[in-house]
Amino acid sequence: MKTEVSTVTTKGQLVIPAKLRRKYAIRDGTQVAFLEEENRLVLQPLTPEFVRSLRGSLKTDPSALKILLDDRKREREL
C-alpha cells in the first residue's frame, strides 16, 4: 500500500490527492464519512457504488421487521 500525504489547512480542510479521487470516484459533491477505528481516522467516500455494495448486508434471520413487531407485541402485553 502506497502512502499519499496531504496537509490540513487552517480552516480544517484537506485535499484528497487526484490519483485517489479518480480511483475511488470522488467528485464534486461526493459526501465523505469519517470513521474512528482505534487510533485511526478512516475516510469513506459515500459513492453510489459504495451504497450498492451494502445492499443485503443487514439481512438477518429472523428479519428486523419481525423482531420489531415481536418487541411491540411484548410491550402491549405488559
pLDDT tens digit sequence for 10-31: 999 999 999 999 998 899 999 9
Residue 64 has pLDDT above 90, yes or no: no
How confident is the model over 34-55, as pLDDT tens digits?
A: 999 999 999 999 888 877 877 7
Asked if 32 contacts 49 with a C-beta cutoff of 8 angstroms, the reply is no
pTM of the complete model: 0.59
Q: How many beta carbons lie within 10 A of that of residue 24, not counting itself?
A: 17
Q: Where are the domains of the chain?
A: 18-77
- Cell numbers of 40, please? 485511526
Q: What is the Cα–Cα distance from 13 to 61, expressed in whole angstroms?
A: 43
Q: What is the Cα–Cα distance from 49 to 70, expressed in whole angstroms?
A: 34
Residue 62 has pLDDT above 80, yes or no: no
Question: What are the start-end ranges of the E strands in the chain?
Answer: 32-37, 40-45
Q: How many residues does the chain have?
A: 78
